Amino acid sequence: MNDRILNLLKDSFVQILLPGLEMTVPLTVISFSLGLVIALVTALVQVANVKVVRQLARFYVWIFRGTPMLVQLYVVFYGLPKVGLILNAFPAAVVVFSLNTGAYASETIRAAILSVPVGQMEAGYCSGMTYMQTMRRIILPQAMRTAFPPLSKSLIGLVKDTSLASNITVVEMFLTAQRIASRTYEPFWMYLEVGFIYLIFCTALTYLQRWLEKKLERK
């Protein structure tokens, strides 16, 4: 490594980090938040066992868990305009990441709900609560504590998966690194640097996850 490479890495660090803060982080936060809402609704529908709606939920999970996220991005961004539905790059990425996260997280939440003893639901009914009241006040608080670790891992995975959005022209960290690499002819160092920045983000989330887990254990 010579002085030119050191100066290049120093200059490009901020150029790559800024799209991370301005695009990668918002894309992750918005998509994961919407995905959790979708996951919760999908899990509750499956647990409630409403036949037609349950089958629709299972079909949705089957589709999004069984196809590559990159294919989903291409279908939404490049395919939907053929049927008259045009989305800009960022909303298209949010739609795909949210639906994909929702499909995977719904199975995590469903399993966590089913892990709560059946007697808890019966106790809620005996105390005069409805199904939704029992879910909200008794079942879900216990289930979400169980689901927290795998959901946290899904969030960390989503941070890395946002790099796929570069394929539909979202100017996030990876696309920025690609552009710098094509201009400087130093792909090796640029990709190492963007990988290092992703590592920083994921490490920070890992420490936050551990801290929150300890908080939950004390309750």
Question: Under 8 Å CB-to-CB from 32, ≥6 apart: which residues?
Answer: 97, 98, 101, 154, 155, 158
117/106 Cα distance (integer angstroms): 19
How high is the pLDDT of residue 35?
97
Nearest 5°: the CA angle 175, 188, 163 is 25
pLDDT, mean of residues 163-181:
94
Q: What percent of the chain has pLDDT over 90?
A: 77
Residue 119 pLDDT > 80: yes
List domains and CATH numbers for the chain. 3-218 (1.10.3720.10)
CB 180 within 8 A of CB 191: no
The pLDDT tens digits of the residues spanning 176-188 come to 999 999 999 999 9
How high is the pLDDT of residue 133?
86
At which residue do the structure tokens 């049927």 appear?
A: 83
The pLDDT tens digits of the residues spanning 69-109 come to 999 999 999 999 999 999 999 999 999 999 999 999 999 99
Q: What confidence tier does 148 reach under pLDDT thresholds 50, 70, 90? A: very high
Residue 219 pLDDT > 80: no
137/129 Cα distance (integer angstroms): 9
The pLDDT tens digits of the residues spanning 25-56 come to 999 999 999 999 999 999 999 988 778 899 99
- Choose among 52, 152, 167, 162: nearest CA to 104: 152
| HSE-up (13 A, CA, CB side) for residue 144 | 14
How high is the pLDDT of residue 33?
97
CA-atom Rg of the chain in angstroms: 21
- What are the tokens at 39? 């996951």
What are the Cα distances from residue 153, in Å, to 20, 111, 215?
19, 16, 17
Q: What confidence tier does 17 reach under pLDDT thresholds 50, 70, 90? A: very high
82/74 Cα distance (integer angstroms): 12
- Choose among 190, 201, 193: nearest CA to 158: 201
